Chain A
Amino acid sequence: DTAVSQTPKYLVTQMGNDKSIKCEQNLGHDTMYWYKQDSKKFLKIMFSYNNKELIINETVPNRFSPKSPDKAHLNLHINSLELGDSAVYFCASSPQGNYIQHEQYFGPGTRLTVT
């Protein structure tokens, strides 16, 4: 009964490859997010989707492309991977409407290592 799940948990790949990380939430939330946590533990938002529509797109290289097939899923595709993409990527979700402000539910993270 995991609330926010991500696959894979670990991903090791070589520079130049294309990879995807999947995220699913079973909380019925309308909004989903992708965050990147680098080696210095800084956690930064990358994207946010609300009901399958992109609403936040931070300064992220266009090699990163989120895709939301439905409001329960938000996948992250990364093309032409670079060494600097190595980080932990977290998916999160939040409800819409009468809820606690700023309460987001995070997944367990995907540790991406680019060699």
Chain B
Amino acid sequence: LAKTTQPISMDSYEGQEVNITCSHNNIATNDYITWYQQFPSQGPRFIIQGYKTKVTNEVASLFIPADRKSSTLSLPRVSLSDTAVYYCLVGPMNTGFQKLVFGTGTRLLVSP
């Protein structure tokens, strides 16, 4: 499984755009990139997933360059409630079970 590296923590202010970058230099051809969000005292929550280029949903955007060795989670106009830990995961496709490997995550603190 590809190892991921992301900043331990980031600080931001309400209304700003936050970009969290994850490095995965040894990503395999059939690996997907997935981001999860975890609030204090809650289980992780799926945010977004991508394979290449750009993916956007109602919560975030995911930018993946052509070499796929990194990815950037973009959170537009963050609010206080976006304070959480964000995990970048890389793993292969499976039609059955999924063995997610969580790293240390990035602790995002949004201040007023």
Question: Which residues of B42-98 have CB atoms within 8 Å of chain A's CB atoms?
Answer: 42-46, 49, 85, 87, 89, 91, 93-98
Q: Are B85 and A41 in contact (CB under 8 A)?
A: yes
Q: Chain B: interface residue count, which band? A: 20 to 34
A66 within 8 A of B: no
Could you tell me if A48 and B99 are in contact, using CB atoms closer than 8 angstroms? yes
Judge whether A96 is part of the interface by a CB distance below 8 angstroms: yes
A102's contact among B49, B96, B104, B105, by CB below 8 Å, is which?
A: B49
Binding site for A on B (CB under 8 A): 32, 34, 38, 41-46, 49, 85, 87, 89, 91, 93-102, 104-105
List 16 additional contacts besides A43-B38, A103-B46, A109-B42; criterion CB under 8 Å. Answer: A31-B97, A43-B102, A45-B99, A56-B97, A56-B99, A97-B95, A101-B34, A101-B98, A102-B49, A102-B91, A103-B34, A104-B46, A105-B46, A106-B42, A106-B43, A109-B41
